[in-house]
Structure 1
């Protein structure tokens, strides 16, 4: 019977639609929680610390304010609620604490001497993780279908474009074992040398990221001032620390830049410490620095459409709660995990398939700094895999296949769009790096692929030998090729059984 009641409740919820998580609901829940605690009773609460003295604060301690709402919501909420914090020399303070920080406080409840506000005598104040603010309401997270439909009803583009955009919103788990210390950020980029197409993408993305709270926006200025008219107090707030922030160009003037972002944002772009959602007006070049670090560098030939979506605007808190819920379920991935070892093998097979199909044209795109530089593209593909796994609710074999399908679509498009003279120049540059022995070149290419997808940049002799056999070398020939590459100085053996390339 309980199971049937649960199913009926789910059905009723689906019929009436999702209830938005409003600032007013957070305020009501906070007030109810505070009201239930009697004076003198222990209490533990969380909220945003505002380093501003409340009205008529006594001189016997330091008095600050705790808000249940993030600062950006305080400015637009129809109702607000505050708790006064009384901090003495006996109060323990830990973690990152500044005005606007999300904190957890514990102590004993009391009444504030002036007015009707309640007060907490603080025993401990700890800087918390901003993501916890969004994990308090787990039940309002959207299903995969609900999440997808909201955005599909807002952006009108190809299905692959829309899905890749959704994946990017979930950022990506950190990759344990990688030699690149990337954060959780991803880069969703699009390219075309036509104003109409580029501006249509920028306007659509700008609309959506503009719905997100200021706390999740990547900005140079990390603090701002605002006024609460109810208390007639002005506040200063800083952006909270969070591993997920979003950036889309603030102005159309940067869309022609090499990296469509201001200089102060470059370090976030290179270290992937933010989600970059940006189009670029540019010629299609294989060494484009934005494409080089993009998980999904799309080339679009048609404008993107969008329309303002009232339901999406109301459910943005639910959208963010969904993103943080899935992030909490998958915070990192290890290159040693079984699924990623399978992905690595599939990625290497994908490289070999396209080498056979495109020949030197593909190899030319895998040189250092090029769009498909193998190590970088493998890690970017792993990032994309993580984003998709968060969206799908888990890492599956089908997700691995989907990543390789997207990679193939991107490669085929770039092969067709790169001007022939630019592509031929890249091929000539590639030919400078190879010798005249075709079989040795194939073996060296296989080693490069193994090296590029390994955790530490080295490859075991046994692994290299097995890969050569898998790609058509006979057992005796494979052993001879390995010895030849060692003898002629292409490879070396830093310690027994492990091989590296001499660069």
Structure 2
């Protein structure tokens, strides 16, 4: 019934280029000459027809470069820039700007003119938020993805969450952008190709200005106004490998895109064919959701989704606007950290040294990195759901558990033995007993999930008790670690590990 209602309302919901053009034209025509006006649009650095000789004239399009050619009408506005105009933007075709000025008539057809008072760069996301009232509901969006992608539930949801990107983490030492890395691994070309083709289809539906690509110029010709120029596209937020050969690289992205990948400046949908799965895989190490897939996924073209892409983008950018960042001091983030730490302890007990070894620096489950990636996944889910709640926290933990189980079961024995050998060399054996060693490992996990690098005495004590230490012995262990020089107390009640030089 939900999908039936959605399909019946497709025509009403669709934010088509022609709708945008007509709505803009109605607004422009509603202003009288001499009135103050503020509008947003895309600069076109071409002289309009019949241009007067008393200033510098350009054009403004209400439609994005990808939509301009799709509209049956093209309601350009002429703009006049003088030495008194305040300019705070790079003047190039394709730049999304906000203009404030005085509206006037222009001597060509029914075109209007704006005498520019100020011209400043605007956020291109605002373009997709102009129709935020037509954003899709969570249920509608799920229905559209369900009818497009046929895959394992967790995999499909992770793909959907990735589209919403990730809020930044306040005070994090990792200055990552809002990007997300969705990856999947298998030593089977057919399986990996199926995921690549599905992700390529989703990316192909997005407007060109939102796709991360090397070539950033789009030619455009308007025969009616005798215009011939190139839009410069920038600000791409989504990426999928451009060809199958990239899927066999350690990092399956083009070389020019590596810096965007490393700094998480875009959403990367990047499956990978591996020769031998490695716990030090650089793609898995920085992926929020590094799945190991065991069967091909299916997908099919979806006419409704294709029509509603502008609505999908309005939904995504609206939710990104609501949750721009995550703060470690937020109550639900603190709750997530507690759950994450319990999850670490539980897996350490269940898998023992295997899990501990996979949490060494550079390994797929390095605690600090995996915590930040999980926190970012939590933020993506929160954007989709509308807020952080205990259900979302449980979903992240469950997804992490599925990934851990997959990797531990899939890593070849030879590779695991190498990791364990490294772990044995790393773990210090000079403690008076194994319990002190275990306590220090608990502290390291707490420190790894702490954004500021400090661990309070109280949370260390509570973690030791939860891990199985008797309360009286837990306090004794804390004092011993301080007395022996493994921990120190730079601030009253706050502990930090003393790192060897």
Q: Is the Cα–Cα contact under 8 Å of residues 177 and 336 in structure 1 kept in the other structure?
A: no
Aligned partner (choices 244, 258, 276) of residue 266 of structure 1: 258
Give the conservation status (yes or no) of the 8 Å contact 1:104–1:128.
Answer: yes
Please list, as runs of the form range in 1=range in 2, the aligned pairs for 1:19-34 lying within 5 A after superposition: 19-34=13-28
Q: Which residue of 1 aligns with 2:298?
A: 305
Once the two structures are superposed, residues 468-488 of structure 1 have per-residue CA deviations (whole angstroms, 9 ceiling, x without a partner) of 233222344223323333344
- The separation in 2 between residues aligned to 1:89 and 1:125, in whole angstroms, is 12
Assess if the C-alpha contact under 8 Å between 2:7 and 2:304 holds in 1: no
Q: Residues 130 and 240 of structure 1 are in contact (CA less than 8 Å); yes or no, is this contact kept in structure 2? A: no
Paired with 2:416 and 2:91, the residues of 1 have a C-alpha distance of: 53
1:339 to 322, 332, 346: 332
Among 115, 121, 126, the residue aligned to 1:121 = 115
- Identify which of 307, 310, 329 aligns with 1:314: 307
* Distance apart, 1:224 and its partner CA: 3.1
Q: Output the CA distance in 2 between the equivalents of 1:433 and 1:497.
A: 29
Q: In the alignment, which of 181, 184, 189 is matched to residue 187 of structure 1?
A: 181
1:140 counterpart residue number: 134
For residues 96 and 349 of structure 1, what CA distance do their matches in structure 2 show?
Answer: 50
Unpaired runs of 5+ residues, structure 1, are 1-10
Map 1:196-211 → 2, pairs under 5 A? 196-211=190-205
Please tell me whether the aligned partners of residues 90 and 121 of structure 2 are also in contact (alpha carbons under 8 angstroms).
Answer: yes
SS at match of 2:51: coil
| Secondary structure, counterpart of 1:432 in structure 2 | helix
Contact 1:102 1:240 in 2 (8 A): no
Q: Which deviations, in whole Å up to 9, do the C-alpha atoms of 1:202-238 show, x marking residues without a partner? A: 1111011011011111112333332223322112222
Contact 1:375-1:453 at 8 Å conserved across structures: yes
Does the alignment pair 1:467 with 2:463?
Answer: yes
SS at match of 1:76: coil
Q: Indicate if the aligned counterparts of 2:169 and 2:327 stay in contact, CA closer than 8 A.
A: yes
Give yes or no for the alignment of 1:234 onto 2:256.
Answer: no
The one of 345, 353, 357 equivalent to 1:352 is 345
Who is 2:124 aligned against? 130
Q: Deviations over 1:337-379 (max 9, x none)?
A: 0100000001000000000000000001100010100000000
After superposition, the C-alpha distances for 1:96-145 in whole angstroms (9 at most, x for unaligned) are: 55321211112111111234311111111121111111111012111111
Give 2:81's aligned residue. Answer: 87
- Among 381, 384, 392, which residue is 1:388 paired with? 381
1:276 aligns with 2:272: no
- How far apart in 2 are the matches of 1:471 and 1:414? 24
Deviation at 1:269, TM superposition (A): 1.0
Indicate conservation of the 8 Å contact 2:65/2:218, yes or no.
Answer: no
Q: How does 1:240-259 map to 2 (within 5 A)?
A: 240-241=234-235, 245-259=237-251
Which residue of structure 2 lines up, in the alignment, with residue 449 of structure 1?
445
The change in CA–CA distance for 1:443 and 1:106 in structure 2 (over 3 A counts) is same
| 2: CA distance, partners of 1:394 / 1:321 | 17
* 1:456–1:80 CA distance, 2 compared to 1 (3 A): same
Q: Any unmatched runs of 5+ in structure 2?
A: none
* Distance in 1 (alpha carbons) for counterparts of 2:90 and 2:307: 31
Relative distance call for 1:430 and 1:32 in structure 2 (3 A) is same
**Per-residue deviation, residues 2-38 of structure 1 (Å, max 9, x unmatched):** xxxxxxxxx9877434521100000000111111112
SS at match of 1:151: helix
What is the distance in 1 between the residues matched to 2:411 and 2:223? Answer: 57
Q: Which secondary structure does the structure 2 equivalent of 1:46 belong to?
A: strand
Give 1:495 shift.
4.7
1:175: which partner in 2? 169
1:64 to 52, 58, 69: 58
Could you tell me whether the CA contact under 8 Å between 1:74 and 1:228 is conserved in 2?
no
User: Is this contact kept in 2: 1:458–1:499, CA < 8 A?
Assistant: yes
Cα distance in 2 between the residues matched to 1:152 and 1:465? 46
**Aligned residue number for residue 217 of structure 2:** 223
**How many corresponding residue pairs?**
491
How far off its partner does 1:42 sit?
A: 1.8
Q: Secondary structure at the match of 1:207?
A: helix
Aligned-partner SS, 2:376: helix
Out of 152, 164, 174, which is 1:158 matched to?
A: 152
Report how far residue 417 of structure 1 moved: 0.6
Contact 1:83–1:120 at 8 Å: present in 2 too? yes
1-structure distance, mates of 2:154, 2:469? 38
Q: Is the 8 A contact 1:375 1:452 kept in 2?
A: yes
Q: Which residue of 2 aligns with 1:375?
A: 368
Question: Which among 50, 61, 85 is matched to residue 44 of structure 2?
Answer: 50
Measured in 2, the distance between the counterparts of 1:125 and 1:393 equals 34
Between 484-493 and 398-407, the greater mean CA deviation after superposition: 484-493
Q: Aligned-pair distance for 1:420?
A: 1.2
| In 1, Cα distance between equivalents of 2:64 and 2:8 | 31
